[in-house]
Structure 1
Amino acid sequence: MVSVLRAYLLPVLKLYLLGLKVLLAQLFCRPFRLPVMPRQDGTVAIVTGGGRGIGFEVARHMAGLGAHVIIGGRNEKEGLAAVRRICEEHKEAKVEFKKLDLASLQSVRQFVQSFKKRGLPLNILVNNAGIMLVPEGRTEDGFEQHFGVNYLGHFLLTWLLLDNLKASGKCPNFSRVVNVSSSAHRIGNIRLNDLNSCECYSAHAAYCQSKLAQLLFSTHLHQELRYGGFPVSSFAVDPGMVDTALYHHLSTPLRLAQSATARLLFKTPAEGAATVLYTALSPALEGECEGGYWANGCKEMTTPPTFDPQLQLSLWETSLQLLGLE
């Protein structure tokens, strides 16, 4: 009984204490303001979850700079509405919506197949879509939802698009992969023998695990690309605590508290998108040799497991096996 309670309560306490710490830091720290970025004419970018929140702000800003932006998302109505809003603001914007359900590996493969048929370059991939604290459930392919959507779906998407990213990068103008992670990775724990959280499900623990997995993937991917001499960089970004719909699954009292304090303590979606856009577009990071973990416009150190090469490799190889990839 004690071990079960610990498995449920400890991740809850850790996550909310971390959240409180982040909110206090945001209260006393000015949010990063994105410098003026160069025009992106000829650049092609894919942004997952670009129909709202941080993803929408990323897609909107890139389109305003002349990039051809493809929003990949599950909600067609929301995605098309985002396209209309961007086109109303930027009359010459090249932006479109394509169906992409990260909870379905078949949908990911269909999205990539459709993109490849068009013969477009791919200069930027922003893995932004995500879920948080959803009730226990499985994806179409039987994976725990946080692990399947936040991590594994994006792993497959990136893997299948790597050839396009490599072909589109030219030294020093590297292609870029930006993985939107979270400070929650700091309290995550990778259980390679139970990635689907079957032993004892905790939505809080599952969310933190998925964000740590995303960061481990981003770090290992960058190393693989660097050692292979490919002109592609991989970054992980913590956008901070941002006032978006991601908090929909909080308990009612916490959701009310979040709504009441959002304007004072939480970042706006545009502020949350600033570091994502910086790592995706900044000329200062051309050919960046270290990739790394970024927050509030700066490169940051993170927890020791992130630097564990054996954990990175084990998760990478396990993911390939789960996806049936070589």
Structure 2
Amino acid sequence: MEILAFGVQADEKPLIEKAFAGHHEVRCLDVFLTEDTAPIAAGYEIVSTSVNANLNHRVLQTLAAGGTQLIAQRSTGFNNIDLDVAERLGLTVARVSYYSPYSVAEFAWTLAMAVNRRIVRASNRTRDFDFRLDGLMGRDMRGRTAGVLGTGKIGEAFARIANGFGMRLLGWDVAENPACLDLGMTYVDKERLFAESDVISLHVPLLPATQHIIDSAALAVMKDDVILVNSSRGGLVDTDALVRELRAGRFAGVGLDVYEAEAGLFFLDKSLEVVEDDTLARLVTFPNVVVTSHQAYYTVDAVGQIIDTTVQNVLNFTAKRRDENVLVPRS
């Protein structure tokens, strides 16, 4: 059986081909699964997708009509898939429920420290042989407060690093994590976390209840010199509201690895095009903002785990086995 994999990055292709060797043939495409590209999947029983695929009802209908039976998504998040439609069409959907939490947690801290110590500005200056320190002053993390919104595996890893810095820990989640409590974390309501934290990092999934969890009201409560980091999902932050606060001169720094309108932009080369997204264009002009292209997960360790789990999801499907990775079971 040949599997069609959409949205495969150049670094991923040899890893995917090696992982599937001896099991199934795999055809890797660098294009993302969209309404325009979905017809390519005709005749493929199994399709693998990336997190930036758009699996709306039209895409799912095209896949089902072309004979697809399994969608194996190479990510933990699945807010890009209309699961109700997939179920009605008889499509099985599987995801990667777990991969290295350290990849994302470490990158979140990379963003936090990059904006704190003005690394991008300093690097750009030294390339021009400008070695002044004006405007590059940061601050120690020790003794300050880290607010962790979402204390699952990634949030816990982020908190462990913060604990290593010697920071006070505040957390918010629907359930307390005993490991975070052992680190000395205090669980509080969102408003207190927003008001008292010097660094706030987002590690909750994107659900209807968390859409724009960082809205204008939440931003207003935060300290003027807070560092805000989002390495989870772009839709957690009301970007227009964030831009308004940045224009008012607030926040010591903002690190964003995700953006709520990233589909059709991230993972692609748009350097020779006019980007029509005015919000993103404005966002990247702020000197205290660092935007990266959804790369927090992108380590050889995490990607390897994602691919291995995807292969196992395919093998489970062909063997008619089911585990916790299956979001929509076969009908």
TM-score by length of 1: 0.36
Which of these two proteins has the greater Rg computed from alpha carbons?
2
TM-score by length of 2: 0.36
